[in-house]
Chains A and B, each alone.
Chain A
């Protein structure tokens, strides 16, 4: 296999969730330093509370206060904590049955080393210094009797009810396909290359790992000019976060001469109202010193002034 380009891909967002009456009450309680479970149809007290009974699926509404201390029911040792876990030093994951509860909850126990953890260990809640309105308001658990500094003061009353925000951050190494890599490397040299499907002869830019008609990789390299036509377009009038151009401007599908698939780009250099289907355009390249392995090397497309392509010549590319 030819060498492929790859790069880190970072995914991050704050997931904002509505809590509803059961979880909302539980998390409000945590912020106020108390723990409540909910009684199930079979009489068991679930902590954290569940909205619907795990056995009968009935809605559950009877809240039961439980203790801040509990017993370790099972545990495993996390010798190298991963990002975003409750502790950055080695700790135990544990299923902890709080006093007054019948089902254990999952959380972390700060115990120093695995020799200090065992099934049956008595632990107590260590509250978070800064409540955030979800499960992390319990920072972690500590063995009962272990020194753990000064417990933080209870915070002022809650100002945000009914929602929680959970940050998600994931890290990937994203790889381009061999076909895509050739295309990206050519862009760094100011060239636009497509690849031809060996079965149907269509030219794709960017090239594809498999032709969507034939299911085989595109292979034969085809150098394409930086001229083409607008097949379809829209005028962007709406401002949005991260927008780089001031509306109105035109986002258009550009079909390069000799290609069988259009790609999305900008059409600038004329009034937005002048852009039309079939309009001839040419790439406006950024200065050479700004080129890299990206279609961003083409800043935008602009009209060439040539006569428009007739509709029939591109109708099958719409």
Chain B
């Protein structure tokens, strides 16, 4: 089966609010142009297109159809969509190339999180029978997870602030003076509401060197899921992330881009993925500095690949999550293709 490499990556600015539509077109058109410029490919050269987005974020049925305009999808193309972070769209595209159906694929994700009330919209990811009708918001669910780790002595509020402080120019003690947003979480523990989009171009290993000087060869990619029943699993761990990392062969990486929208989730992931102090975590700033829904996981893969494109690393890990409290996790391991 054909190996697959990341050969291009671009993302729209991560901003608190865009004036654009929820169909993503305004954010996607410029970044499509950017990856085509990077790779020398054009839309006619792309064998398969796959996207990740959510109708609930847009408040409209089939909202991803409008985004297809950004492709310039006439004459007809091979296209698919996942109602998840676009990292899972990348997995589908990876399979298409693995199966030998196509040589190239373009994957994109987008989300205008600011259009609605993100905390409430995400409640609809929960069990629709016994949980979602209570409308627990995404930040409160994460706060319950954070408390379990505090009570178990796995981390302290200071540990959480130290994670946040790594991404901004502040000292830990001033962060701890802030009032709670959702006790025990403070504003710095929570990823900002972000509008954004990201795009990646994949190519078969056989052709990857045509499109990138130093492609990021995907040596392993896996995704796993934990039970959606919040009470039935140990929320202080991410067994599905651990299983995905093991299956993807995640040891010995120099850089890890983690999709952790909450400070304590970065600590859970570091432990679950077995990352030691030697590993550079989130050189991009990670999701705590910008978390465009349905694109942030794909962006982690892109940012990790960039470390390889630029020669700053030779073996990297990228992680994406979807669903509440790190329920679903994807891990990709990449190496430089010289």
Task: List A residues at the B interface (Cβ < 8 Å).
Answer: 1, 4, 6, 9, 11, 15, 17, 19, 23, 26-27, 40, 44, 46-48, 50, 54-55, 73-79, 82-86, 93-95, 97, 103-108, 114, 119, 134-136, 164, 166, 168, 170-177, 180, 208-217
Q: Considering the chains assembled together, what is the distance between the CA atoms of A177 and B22 in angstroms?
A: 9
Q: Considering the chains assembled together, what is the distance between the CA atoms of A216 and B29 in angstroms?
A: 7
Shortest A41–chain B CB gap in Å is 12
Interface centre among A17, A168, A216, A217 (most CB of B within 10 A): A168
Task: Evaluate contact between B128 and A166: CB separation under 8 angstroms.
Answer: yes
Task: Evaluate contact between A209 and B69: CB separation under 8 angstroms.
Answer: yes
Contacts of B114 in A (CB 8 A): 173
Interface of B (DSSP majority class): helix
Task: Evaluate contact between B124 and A168: CB separation under 8 angstroms.
Answer: yes
Q: Would you give the 0/1 interface string for B266-296, flagging 1 where the beta carbon is closer than 8 Å to chain A?
A: 0000000000000000000000000000000
**Can you identify 26 A-B contacts, CB atoms within 8 angstroms?**
A4-B19, A15-B128, A23-B129, A27-B129, A46-B232, A54-B229, A74-B147, A79-B180, A79-B182, A82-B120, A106-B141, A106-B231, A134-B129, A135-B131, A135-B133, A136-B134, A172-B116, A175-B19, A208-B69, A209-B25, A209-B29, A209-B66, A209-B69, A215-B32, A215-B70, A216-B72
Interface centre among B21, B114, B116 (most CB of A within 10 A): B21
Q: Considering the chains assembled together, what is the distance between the CA atoms of A108 and B136 in angstroms?
A: 9
Q: Which 6 A-B pairs have the closest CB atoms?
A: A215-B72, A76-B143, A54-B227, A209-B25, A77-B183, A48-B130
**Contact flag A93-B136 (CB < 8 Å), given A76-B143, A212-B68:** yes
Residues 109-154 of B at the A interface (beta carbon under 8 Å): 114-117, 119-121, 124, 128-137, 140-141, 143-148, 151
Task: Evaluate contact between B134 and A75: CB separation under 8 angstroms.
Answer: no
Residues 40-90 of B at the A interface (beta carbon under 8 Å): 43, 56, 58-60, 66, 68-74
Task: Evaluate contact between A135 and B129: CB separation under 8 angstroms.
Answer: yes
- The reply on B105 being an interface residue by CB < 8 A is no
Q: Considering the chains assembled together, what is the distance between the CA atoms of A108 and B144 in angstroms?
A: 12
Shortest B240–chain A CB gap in Å is 12
Q: Considering the chains assembled together, what is the distance between the CA atoms of A78 and B143 in angstroms?
A: 10
Q: Given known contacts A23-B130, A82-B137, what 9 new A-B pairs fall within 8 Å (CB)?
A: A4-B20, A74-B151, A93-B136, A119-B151, A134-B129, A166-B133, A170-B116, A175-B19, A215-B70
Task: List B residues at the A interface (Cβ < 8 Å).
Answer: 19-23, 25-26, 28-29, 32, 43, 56, 58-60, 66, 68-74, 114-117, 119-121, 124, 128-137, 140-141, 143-148, 151, 180, 182-185, 227, 229-233, 235
Task: Evaluate contact between B115 and A105: CB separation under 8 angstroms.
Answer: no
Task: Evaluate contact between B25 and A134: CB separation under 8 angstroms.
Answer: no
Q: Select one of A107, A114, A172, A210 contacting B29, CB under 8 A.
A: A210
Task: Evaluate contact between A93 and B140: CB separation under 8 angstroms.
Answer: yes
Which residue of A has the minimal Cβ distance to B21?
Answer: A177
Which residue of A has the minimal Cβ distance to B130?
Answer: A48
Q: Considering the chains assembled together, what is the distance between the CA atoms of A233 and B29 in angstroms?
A: 34
Task: Evaluate contact between A77 and B182: CB separation under 8 angstroms.
Answer: yes
Shortest B61–chain A CB gap in Å is 10
Interface centre among B133, B135, B235 (most CB of A within 10 A): B133
Contacts of A209 in B (CB 8 A): 21, 23, 25-26, 29, 66, 69-70
Interface centre among A27, A213, A215 (most CB of B within 10 A): A215
Task: Evaluate contact between A105 and B231: CB separation under 8 angstroms.
Answer: yes
Q: Considering the chains assembled together, what is the distance between the CA atoms of A76 and B25 in angstroms?
A: 38
Task: Evaluate contact between A93 and B135: CB separation under 8 angstroms.
Answer: no
Shortest B75–chain A CB gap in Å is 8
Task: Evaluate contact between B25 and A177: CB separation under 8 angstroms.
Answer: yes
Task: Evaluate contact between A210 and B69: CB separation under 8 angstroms.
Answer: yes
Contacts of A106 in B (CB 8 A): 131, 134, 136, 141, 144, 230-231
Q: Considering the chains assembled together, what is the distance between the CA atoms of A84 and B230 in angstroms?
A: 20
Q: Select one of A1, A136, A176 contacting B133, CB under 8 A.
A: A136
Contacts of B137 in A (CB 8 A): 82, 85
Contacts of A210 in B (CB 8 A): 25, 28-29, 69-70, 72
Q: Considering the chains assembled together, what is the distance between the CA atoms of A107 and B133 in angstroms?
A: 10
Which residue of A has the minimal Cβ distance to B232?
Answer: A54
Which residue of A has the minimal Cβ distance to B25?
Answer: A209
Shortest B56–chain A CB gap in Å is 7
Shortest B150–chain A CB gap in Å is 9
**Contact flag A76-B135 (CB < 8 Å), given A170-B121, A175-B20:** no
Contacts of A73 in B (CB 8 A): 148
Task: Evaluate contact between B143 and A134: CB separation under 8 angstroms.
Answer: no
